[in-house]
Structure 1
Amino acid sequence: MWQKILLITTLSLPFAAVADMRQYVAAIDNSSWRLAENTPVQCRLEHDIPSYGKAVFISEASKQLNLHFVLDMWLKPDAVTNAKLMSKSPDWRPGKASTPITYIEYKKHFNGEVAKKDAWFMLNELERGMQPTFYYSDWYNRNQQVAVGLSSANFKRNYNAFKDCLSRLLPYGYEDIAFTVLNYESGGNDLTQISQRQLKRVQEYLAYDQDVDLVLVDAYTDSYGSRSVNQRVAQGRAHSVKDFMIAKGIPKERIVTMAHGEKRPVATNDEIDERAKNRRVVIRINKNS
């Protein structure tokens, strides 16, 4: 308990008040920000921290705008470590008071992460010319303090590009299309209107996300008609979905189809509405971790 009190007390001191402190922050003449990912499925803003690692802001396609921050360290913490995140005035812009942002906990062998609300606060402070800075005790020497800062030099132009990327993110994400069920009109290979929109949405996502390595397409029918005919109908439906994706630029080697005919029904085949549920194609997507 006394160690935690000592840590918080030390971190509350002004930056220059701690004599034995290792500082990591880019100098004004070599501060580098870059838009490392700029697609409708992910926006990624990165900043190099010399001799330490890099700072990363990430937002991904989703129904709601999201954001998280990762402090990507070359050397991961070797012990659970408490840290304080402050917004301070950079050395080349003295005079402004420091503002506390949040307390976080570095987990052993993991990068430091900051959640959505505080990540936005960090971006706002950088835009103001401030320097978000992490303070913590070295996990090998608790008597030595470490300060890791994000320089606001050369930030605004790349931040504007990041915000432009955010405005073009798809309004749905991987979780929304990873398991998609398409349904068909009675007889033939015509998708319902809702399923046509779903298929287009899956295709659009796949066109941008290069981490998807496999698309599994399983086709089924109801039990109306003979089994051999239903098997051919299922094959036709699976191939039509695959052909649609290939025509939209999805590599054919990433797509695997299976036709099951009237096997594995999800509803009875006694009523029209029930049979409609069995006339389906299920699309499952596997993504590299």
Structure 2
Amino acid sequence: MRLQYAALLSLFVSLPSVALTFQPRLEHAEWQAEGDQFECRLIQPIKTFGGVGQFVRRAGEQPTFQLISRERWLGTGAATLVVGAAPWRPEHRDMPLGQVKIANDEVLLKSDNQQAARLLTGLMEGRSPLVRHRTRQTNEYMEVRLLPARFGQAFREFQQCTTQLLPVNFDQVRYLQLSFANSGIDLGDAARRELDRVLLLLKADPTINSIRLEGHSDNTGNRLTNRDLSRRRAMAVAAYLKEKGIPEGQISIRFHGERYPLVPNSSEANRGKNRRVTLYLDRLPEAEAEQERLARSNAAQPA
């Protein structure tokens, strides 16, 4: 009996003493879903923390959990992410999910996809996303807790939002390699599928204002032939984009022949990687992009 008591006492002493806790007041706790075809968010404000906890799903990606605040409560290092047990379910225990690096930014931390999925499952079970760390000012332990109150309806709205997301986001396709078979210049099915996904983004995002295509070849044949092949490959991609409605003025073409291989031309597999057109996307500077988004939003409003 004494040994059991000593073990429990030792466990209690080893747990960090939390000096500060941030969470919404239960009667005010709420979740909000919002978003568009580029990104969906599921948000709970934490007023005392000066920020929010949110799940974010970008087009082409799985959700992540983020903790956001303009206040610098959290110290440097890595915080512990936990699926917290509900206080009214004493039979449940906290479920640690590992550590997440603290950033020196308004987005204080960002989980990976697996951690976010487990946090969402926990919320559906009545559990709480919980962040434990030390304070920046006093180095005492603190925690930030989100509450599962009124979660269900907002989560359904979040799920509905995700059904409208585009298949890719800008960061995923801003630099894209399109492969060509042997000495051919025709677009294959795989390249067309890639371009079709890019086209959906181009038509939805007016801030993407230029497309640069750079043609390449392997080292089979002579340099002049290879240079012409790389030109014709880039032109084939440009023709496909223009056929699908992209203005010619947004497209520029360069061609390099065999000058810039991705990998040594030492095997057929490597030569296949070097027969390519590289697509680069660029967008307006942020201030101009915001003006473009506002203009597009205003134009969509009913008169």
Structure 2 equivalent of residue 34 of structure 1 = 33
Say which of 146, 150, 166 aligns to 2:146. Answer: 150
Question: Where in structure 1 are there 5+ consecutive unaligned residues?
Answer: 12-19
Q: State whether structure 2 residue 173 is matched by structure 1 residue 180.
A: no
Q: Classify the secondary structure of the residue corresponding to 1:28.
A: helix
Say which of 202, 215, 220 aligns to 2:211. Answer: 215
Say which of 123, 126, 140 aligns to 2:123. Answer: 126
Structure 2 equivalent of residue 48 of structure 1 = 45
Q: Classify the secondary structure of the residue corresponding to 2:123.
A: helix
Relative to the length of structure 2, the TM-score reads: 0.63
Cα distance in structure 1, aligned partners of 2:209 and 2:30: 36
Cα distance in structure 2, aligned partners of 1:275 and 1:132: 49
Say which of 78, 89, 95 aligns to 1:101. Answer: 95
Deviation at 1:248, TM superposition (A): 4.0
Deviation at 1:186, TM superposition (A): 5.9
Deviation at 1:60, TM superposition (A): 4.2
Question: Where in structure 2 are there 5+ consecutive unaligned residues?
Answer: 1-11, 287-303
Deviation at 1:118, TM superposition (A): 3.0
The CA deviation string for residues 104-135 of structure 1, in whole angstroms up to 9 with x for no partner, is 35536251333333322221222234433334
Matched AA of 1:66: Q
Structure 2 equivalent of residue 16 of structure 1 = none
Relative to the length of structure 1, the TM-score reads: 0.65
Identity among equivalent positions (%) equals 20
Name the CA shift for 1:211/1:67 in 2 (closer, same or farther; >3 Å): farther
Q: Classify the secondary structure of the residue corresponding to 1:79.
A: coil
Q: What count of residue pairs does the alignment treat as equivalent? A: 263
Matched AA of 1:44: R
The CA deviation string for residues 45-83 of structure 1, in whole angstroms up to 9 with x for no partner, is 233221421112133455xx7332111122233433654
What's the Cα RMSD here?
Answer: 4.6
Cα distance in structure 2, aligned partners of 1:195 and 1:172: 15
Cα distance in structure 2, aligned partners of 1:28 and 1:176: 44
Cα distance in structure 2, aligned partners of 1:166 and 1:235: 39
Deviation at 1:180, TM superposition (A): 1.4
Cα distance in structure 1, aligned partners of 2:270 and 2:68: 51
Name the CA shift for 1:256/1:99 in 2 (closer, same or farther; >3 Å): farther
CA contact (8 A) 1:59 1:68 kept: yes
Name the CA shift for 1:220/1:158 in 2 (closer, same or farther; >3 Å): same
Name the CA shift for 1:128/1:244 in 2 (closer, same or farther; >3 Å): same
Structure 2 equivalent of residue 281 of structure 1 = 277
Q: State whether structure 2 residue 77 is matched by structure 1 residue 80.
A: yes
The CA deviation string for residues 10-57 of structure 1, in whole angstroms up to 9 with x for no partner, is 25xxxxxxxx53433255346241223x43x64432332214211121
Deviation at 1:142, TM superposition (A): 3.6
CA contact (8 A) 2:75 2:139 kept: no
Deviation at 1:86, TM superposition (A): 4.7
Deviation at 1:208, TM superposition (A): 5.0
CA contact (8 A) 2:83 2:118 kept: no
Structure 2 equivalent of residue 162 of structure 1 = 158
